[in-house]
Structure 1
Amino acid sequence: MTTQAVTLIIDGCAVATVDADGTEYRSGHVLLYGNRIGVVGAGPAPDLGPGVRRIDGTGCLLTPGLVNTHHHLYQWITRGLAPDHTLFEWLTTLYPIWAGIDEDAVRVAATGGLASLARSGCTTTTDHHYVFPREGGDLLGAEIAAAADIGLRFHPCRGSMDLGKSKGGLPPDDVVESLDAILAASADAIDRWHDPSFDSMLRIALAPCSPFSVTPELLRESATLARESGVRLHTHLAETLDEEDFCQQSFGCSPAQYMEQLGWLGPDVWYAHGIHFDDAAIASIAASRTGIAHCPTSNARIGAGIARTADLLAAGVPVGLGVDGAASNESSSMLEEPRNALLLARAHGGPRALTTRKALAMATIGGARVLGRDAELGSIEPGKLADLALWRLDTPAHAGIDDPVAALILGARPPLAALIVNGREVVTDDAMRTIDESEVGRQVARAQAALVAKAG
């Protein structure tokens, strides 16, 4: 490889590659060739002369960028509402407020939420947008534009609801769509935006919201459309006992059995939450390679329960992590998720239920596997995409913690020395490079006040 091919050197840092062998270096280096990882090794980087940009990683830990497998970005402008409600109470309180969103509000909310993710080490994120008011405008396009502004790799899910309250569902009728309208909009989203290429910054998935807000016909038709179009499928499942009761009363079976009957199992499917699975459900999910987006912070905030993470991993289920919507996880910090996943798993299953390195793996290669991108993302290996997080661990909060992975997962949130997405620096020295954070904060406050007043 020629000297001119090297575009960035990260040198002198600890490196946790999260590759299949768990390779780590106490002091190592990484060379980038544009948007690809070129060389990963121990010791100092070779001297390539003054023309190559170099980041001094002394005192830092380099990890793969974190992968967020579940979010609702529009909720960034409804944080802090209904703080002490059950899930169903929380939803019925917030649906009338969410009914007032439009594309300007969604773009502001998405910009704020995506900036928060970037600041917490996230390089790839999904979003599950399922609220489409009739006069809202191009809501999916608004958040796609926000992701381009921030610079994150983005997997938006064209969500949907067609089972309103008058037909036995939970959402009010004015925020649901017809089956035909949903399928047309879903096909249009795939045609407009889905990019299946190796280094894609934008991929679409289809995501009917949940068993209590969509019809069986929508689930079946969405699965058919997604598989004909080569895109993935996503939905909420087994999040609360209320949902279990709803499915037993409505369909005579558990949520997992219901989805299996409708063809919603397979390596192209991932469920958000997956808390209340029995042994048979876990076995079926594992055999089909269906993925799980584990959302420990949101699950605890809503009081939904503790997922059987250790059992899912032991069965071979692909498990990633998600912050979930900002209205049920106000911090929306991706780095909090592996720590909280570890703490909840150990609280439920004992001190060996989840290790620090398995927690980091769920936040990186696990998330990439759930999204079908583990050949491209999620570990620091030559040929993979240059999505990296460089964490500063020489601060007083981390001094004296000998194990850098333990410092990252168990310690206070460290400053982010650099966040690199597709070979481009998005965060440098714990500050966004792509947007004015102060101005975004002002826009978020105005949008939140306007939305709540509209619902008033």
Structure 2
Amino acid sequence: MSSPLTTPAVRTALTGGYVATNDDLRTEHTRGYVVLDGHQLVAVGSGPLPAEHADAAVVDVSGCLVTPGLVNTHHHLFQWITRGWAVDGTLFEWLRTLYPVWAGLDADLTTTAATGALAWLARSGCTTSTDHHYVFPRHGGDLLGAEIAAARQVGLRFHPTRGSMDLGVSAGGLPPDDVVEDLDAILAASEAAIQTHHDPSPGSMLQIALAPCSPFSVTAELLTASAELARRYGVRLHTHLAETSEEDDFCRDHFGRTPVEYLDSLGWLRPDVWFAHAVHLDDASIARLAATGTSVAHCPSSNARLGAGIARARDLRDAGVAVGLGVDGAASNEASSLWAEAHHALLFARARGGPQALGVRDALDMATTGGARVLGRQDEIGSLEVGKLADVAVWRLDGLGHVDVADPVAALVLGAQPPLELLLVNGQRVVERDVVLSVDAEELAADVLTASRELASRAGRATSFAPSTPRQAQDRPTSGRVA
């Protein structure tokens, strides 16, 4: 690179790279330029830098692919310090192993976990991330505020959700009673989160959504009241849905409905809602999501890790459903790479539907514009277009792993993850040459290890190795409850 990127106040031009804009026409420039001025993109095109931008600080990105920053539409950052547990378990075995551990979370541990998870996400090309934080142990402190502070430190655009659970094990739910809250406390905390943190202004770096955990760890009353509260304030809604076949069976048995029909009956299916996973959907459910403008966060790696299945990404997209990608919890996706989600989304779709099921540019679209649509930010992020925010990923493709791949987008999506030459969020450098600039990686790794051991110790668990939960019939839940 010919010169370091300067502060957002200075006009800067990325020149000489292959530019995949991911605009509506999927415009690409074999040798192009991207100019940013402060927090916005002001020019994108082919060839040498036009004279009108001669005053810009030039950053030579020859040998690189320039794409929009990737958008993560589902995550559980707190799980970063509980990776590697129940590695051979089903979803229910995994949850039963980890719920008692998560009951020991506090604000300090959450800060460390979120900082580690977000820093690693940045290294995978992610510029915007959601988070679904639904575990709020009593006396744990301000866990939502902790992760917001972590996102501010790392430098990512952040859409955390104030999650919730009000159906504990004593009332027939899955989570332990000490990590659930009562309805009034949840609604008060949710309203406070919106009033304290939500920024709806253009270019916002922080937006809040409400996210009752799942139909089987919350009551219908909480689902309904959360929707009413969210719509009163104009914020989005999120939850897990249709992750396992057992969940589908449970909904049909208990409500006489599919999972989608159940949420629909509670007034959830609207353009301000996105569901995580949506693996087990019939044709009618997909059609209903499309008709109501409801979106989906596709989490291929986590769904495969837990053996939940493969979402019908092609069918969802063909029906007109906005589909973004999600890393999901770090404890159910130890790689925690958004680049890997694009890679796996492509491969899993083709394994299910053949070589035409998903193209390499479809995978890039889900990781960028698709995610922006899911979050309602498609007018600001997700593509490299004049007037959009300066969220940009620059991938180096001139090394041994990628130099001879004929199609740069295929090199990104089908090959190994390329080195991340540069990551800009809102015009600010966050990653340069695979190094996250806002944290000390060695110090953070040590902090993460300490936090992981402390949390395991609080649960009375071994810290060096957490074995998978034994697959014994008596350890399995009797219902299809999910996280």
TM-score normalised per structure 1: 0.98
| Correspondence for 1:132 | 136
| Correspondence for 2:308 | 304
1:287-436, aligned counterparts within 5 Å?
287-436=291-440
Partner of 1:201, secondary structure, is: coil
Out of 257, 282, 294, the residue aligned to residue 278 of structure 1 is 282
Q: Which amino acid aligns with 2:321?
A: V
Contact 2:11/2:55, CA 8 A, preserved across alignment: no
CA distance in 2, matches of 1:245, 1:90: 20
Unaligned runs of 5+ in 1: none
| Correspondence for 1:179 | 183
CA distance in 1, matches of 2:48, 2:172: 63
Out of 4, 8, 11, the residue aligned to residue 7 of structure 1 is 11
Q: What is the CA-CA distance between 1:54 and the residue it aligns to?
A: 2.0
| Correspondence for 1:258 | 262
CA distance in 2, matches of 1:47, 1:453: 62
CA distance in 1, matches of 2:115, 2:50: 38
Report whether the alignment pairs 1:33 with 2:37.
yes
CA distance in 2, matches of 1:166, 1:432: 44
Partner of 1:336, secondary structure, is: helix
| Correspondence for 2:445 | 441
CA distance in 2, matches of 1:239, 1:77: 23
Q: Deviations over 1:15-63 (max 9, x none)?
A: 0000000100000001101000000010111357996432111000000
| Correspondence for 2:94 | 90
Q: What is the CA-CA distance between 1:430 and the residue it aligns to?
A: 1.1
| Correspondence for 1:75 | 79
Partner of 1:239, secondary structure, is: coil
CA distance in 1, matches of 2:260, 2:40: 39
Q: Which amino acid aligns with 1:151?
A: G
Report whether the alignment pairs 1:267 with 2:271.
yes
CA distance in 2, matches of 1:5, 1:425: 13
1:51-200, aligned counterparts within 5 Å?
52-200=56-204
Q: Which amino acid aligns with 1:454?
A: R
Of the structure 1 ranges 4-13 and 342-351, higher mean CA displacement relative to structure 2 is found in 4-13
CA distance in 2, matches of 1:271, 1:179: 22
- Structure 2 CA distance for partners of 1:49 and 1:350, relative to 1, 3 Å: closer
Report whether the alignment pairs 1:225 with 2:223.
no
- Structure 2 CA distance for partners of 1:232 and 1:49, relative to 1, 3 Å: closer
Q: Which amino acid aligns with 1:24?
A: E
CA distance in 2, matches of 1:21, 1:262: 38
Of the structure 1 ranges 415-424 and 165-174, higher mean CA displacement relative to structure 2 is found in 165-174
CA distance in 2, matches of 1:425, 1:172: 42
CA distance in 2, matches of 1:54, 1:438: 31
CA distance in 2, matches of 1:118, 1:55: 20
Q: What is the CA-CA distance between 1:6 and the residue it aligns to?
A: 5.5
CA distance in 2, matches of 1:176, 1:377: 35
Contact 1:133/1:175, CA 8 A, preserved across alignment: yes
Q: Deviations over 1:194-214 (max 9, x none)?
A: 000110000000000001100
Q: Which amino acid aligns with 1:455?
A: A
Q: Which amino acid aligns with 1:125?
A: S
Contact 1:6/1:31, CA 8 A, preserved across alignment: no
Q: Which amino acid aligns with 1:377?
A: I
CA distance in 2, matches of 1:247, 1:105: 35
Contact 1:270/1:291, CA 8 A, preserved across alignment: yes
Of the structure 1 ranges 4-13 and 385-394, higher mean CA displacement relative to structure 2 is found in 4-13
After the TM superposition, which segments of 4 or more aligned residues of structure 1 sit over 6 Å from their partners? 48-51
Contact 2:13/2:33, CA 8 A, preserved across alignment: yes
CA distance in 2, matches of 1:340, 1:6: 38
Q: Deviations over 1:126-156 (max 9, x none)?
A: 0000000011000000000000000000000
Identity among equivalent pairs (%): 64
CA distance in 1, matches of 2:336, 2:163: 20
CA distance in 2, matches of 1:348, 1:87: 22
Q: Which amino acid aligns with 1:288?
A: T
Partner of 2:14, secondary structure, is: strand
CA distance in 2, matches of 1:82, 1:433: 33
Q: What is the CA-CA distance between 1:5 and the residue it aligns to?
A: 7.6
TM-score normalised per structure 2: 0.92
Q: Deviations over 1:297-352 (max 9, x none)?
A: 00100000011111000000000000000000001001001110010000001110
Q: What is the CA-CA distance between 1:249 and the residue it aligns to?
A: 3.0
Out of 219, 235, 247, the residue aligned to residue 215 of structure 1 is 219
Contact 1:29/1:42, CA 8 A, preserved across alignment: yes
The number of residues matched between the two structures is 453
Partner of 1:270, secondary structure, is: strand
Contact 1:398/1:411, CA 8 A, preserved across alignment: yes
Unaligned runs of 5+ in 2: 1-7, 461-483
Partner of 2:338, secondary structure, is: coil
Taking only aligned residues, the RMSD between alpha carbons, in angstroms, comes to: 1.2
Of the structure 1 ranges 207-216 and 236-245, higher mean CA displacement relative to structure 2 is found in 236-245
CA distance in 1, matches of 2:92, 2:270: 28
Contact 2:73/2:129, CA 8 A, preserved across alignment: yes
Q: What is the CA-CA distance between 1:172 and the residue it aligns to?
A: 1.0
